Chain A
Amino acid sequence: MEREIRELIIKAQAGDTNSFHEIVAKYDARIMTLSLQIAQNKEDAEDIYQETFLKVYKNISKFRFESDIYTWMYRIAVNTAYNYKRKHSKLTVAKAKEDAEYDILDWIDDPHSNEDNREELLTAINQSLLQLSHQQRTVFILKHLQQLKIKDIANILDLSEGTVKKYLFRAMEKLRVCLKEYHYA
């Protein structure tokens, strides 16, 4: 772990909130990306972001430097997002679909935004991901967008590896059908 980060963590553990906010600023883009990917709408992603960092703040004194701080925060974020969406999924699917249609490009920086049909494609992906159940979507995102191993996904989400594979299979099959017409390679 970098010395600078280590010092910030130690200061944050001693109650220095400025150091804590410096840690947040270093990692929050990745946590927000994950939140957006799982939540599929800005409002939920923001709630997940806030909930995640509040949990990190309340528990930072328990961090023992046995892993990378980002791995530890990431785990909290995934669990928070997973539980948040499980609680709110029925209420927000309609809203999420609406968001997917109207403001998907409002809350992201897209390095390839000038490419032809890119906006249409992103909207299609977003909407296709919304066709998946919450579990299928989370597992798919962790595996294929966050590049985690099945074993780690099972561990983070407290599922068996078999269940993770089952969700992945269902997710890939649905997405294959939804995105059949689109090619981006």
Chain B
Amino acid sequence: MPNNLSEQQKKQASLYLNNAMSIASKRKFEKELKTNLTLRTYVDELKNMLETTRMFSVLSPSNELLQGNRNILKNNIQSVSNQQTSGLQINDLLAKIRNGIVAIVKARQPVWAVATYIIIGIVAGRLLLGPVGKKPLDLNGNGQLDMNKVISSGLLDDVQIDRSALSPSTIKFVSNIDDRFNVSGDVNDQDIKKLLYYMLLNNEDQNKRLEAGRLINRIAPNEETQMVLISSVLSERNAQVKLQSLRTLGNYQTTSELVDACKRILLDERDPKVRLEALTLLENSRSSDLIPLLEVVIKMDDDISVRNKADKLLDELQKPVAIEKTEVAR
């Protein structure tokens, strides 16, 4: 019977039941309902359908479904949170490296020394800024230096340590390309330090990088060197060089950048010796923030010595809490 109704009448019925009519239209429609049996039947069918479907609104999801999804959500949020934290820490680290580089560029240095810092900036920028979508330091930003010429000369790639001159107090750098390039001095001299930084971070020869790493170990600890070493452990491909940089970092104060770098190594590094060294550095941190990471390492790491060391460190970190609890209980 409702099929005899016009489309307009059906629309009116829908508006009526959806409470979407003006008062005047509603009165008019209700008046028609009293006299039009077909329309009334149609409205009753709609009402019945609405009553039936409302069964759905009293249903609620089962506890199992909710609990399962809460657990998944916790994991999802943890990974989002880790990504955000990791991004921020890398940015902070880069800001420090960048500020250091800019400060030295502004302070008038010999061409090669400035170039060293620019290269560090490029390396750090390429390796660290790249993933977060930032550009490396602008080489053309300084009017006094033609950095492109210095880099394209290949001089910086060729710089090496003259072993014949190596003594406990003196280091000599020479270049096979340019005989005039001859720099010697103490490991703590600014120029020498900069060349060592460059060599550690940018030289293609891993033996030279390792040698630079060993010599950097003799530099008196300072923030600038620490940043370079952290850049090295984050970007280095060779495990031996990385290990050397980490061992040197053991002489330094445990900063948040160092802790972050070690955390990253623990999760990403393939060589167990390097992971073990990172754990050694984390021992100095003694922060309870490490507990979740250590729990993951204990469960997931495929090397038994790394797992054992992580387990030992976890025990140590949990001890003070246990003692505090006991004291509170007393």
Contact = CB atoms under 8 A, between A and B. Distances in A.
Interface of A: 17, 20-21, 24-25, 28-29, 32-33, 36-37, 42, 46, 49-50, 53-54, 57-58, 106-112, 118, 121-122, 125-126, 128-129, 140, 143-147, 150, 165, 168-169, 172-173, 175-176, 179-180, 182-185
B59 A28 contact: no
A185 B48 contact: yes
A73 B148 CA distance: 54
Contacts of B11: 169
Count class of interface residues, chain B: 35 or more
A108 B63 CA distance: 9
A111 B65 contact: no
Nearest to A168: B18
A109 B61 contact: yes
A185 B51 contact: yes
Interface of B: 10-11, 14-15, 17-18, 20, 42, 45-46, 48-63, 65-66, 69-70, 72-74, 76-78, 80-81
B59 A29 contact: no
A110 to B, nearest CB: 6
Given A57-B77, A150-B20, A165-B18, A185 B65 contact: no
B58 A172 contact: no
5 contacts: A42-B65, A54-B76, A112-B55, A172-B18, A179-B49
B59 A24 contact: no
B288 to A, nearest CB: 15
A125 B61 contact: no
A165 B52 CA distance: 21
B50 A144 contact: yes
B72 A32 contact: no
A176 B56 contact: no
B13 to A, nearest CB: 8
A29 B66 contact: yes
A129 B69 CA distance: 25
B66 A179 contact: no
Nearest to A107: B65
A126 B51 CA distance: 14
Given A32-B65, A179-B49, A168 B72 contact: no
Contact of B10 (A20, A36, A46, A173): A173
A179 B70 contact: no
Given A53-B73, A57-B80, A145-B56, A36 B61 contact: yes
